[in-house]
Structure 1
């Protein structure tokens, strides 16, 4: 946990209920997400995220086209529910940086409609690089992440610039 002590550590040190500390961890995470959206972080962070998003897909393929163990792990992902994923995407504040459709925003990279393979997505969400806060297993379970991943995969592509009259004048 990057906010100080983990819920287990606080429970050991202060004797309080772990659920209370886990809830405090979720609140702290939500506040950090809101702060990041307000700062409108861009530039180097966007480039870092772009590299992080594209690298695992390239690494997971061997030159012969056969998948490596990383590619096989992605195939073993739990089934996700896009409707539940949409609720979790909003509830956990993901939309504040990545937009409601996952198409990116001032502070967050584009995630939809082609997110990372599931295992890479989970690894990045659990231990992000840059300013994205980590979503620990206490905040979002693996099934929750499978649901969010399914939601991102279900999003349509954004309209091409040529189809937006205001931008083609």
Structure 2
């Protein structure tokens, strides 16, 4: 599909490459904490390539191939974590893959921890945005930055637990 509709796909990636740090990204959170990353476009591109190459190397070294949902989830975690924006629909991309990628019931604890960080983030963004609408309440920038970083920790922790358990588990066996 991407080959047939290349212009549409490329437009999405081009916008992500060219945009500045925006809501929900680690880069925006860091900027709210007065930690500005020089040459963000270059850092974003190099970090993305490095993490995707690392993922491929990791997957090739596994004794068996994980299911497609796990591979897609890991790729999306990289994309959504190092991207320059975190759009609300990303959780809708990640969650179904995460549920399919679960290998055992012990991983549910980390899954629900991650989901709690997502809920916290989604409450935080609306409270942060309230400050821009003459509201008498709202979440200050530091609180929003903290919620963003907690969300990133949540999804990365979940991905790490899944990856940690892959070499010792069969992709077909579930408990």
TM-score under structure 1 normalisation? 0.25
Structure 1 or 2: more helix by fraction: 2
**TM-score of the superposition, structure 2-length normalised?**
0.25
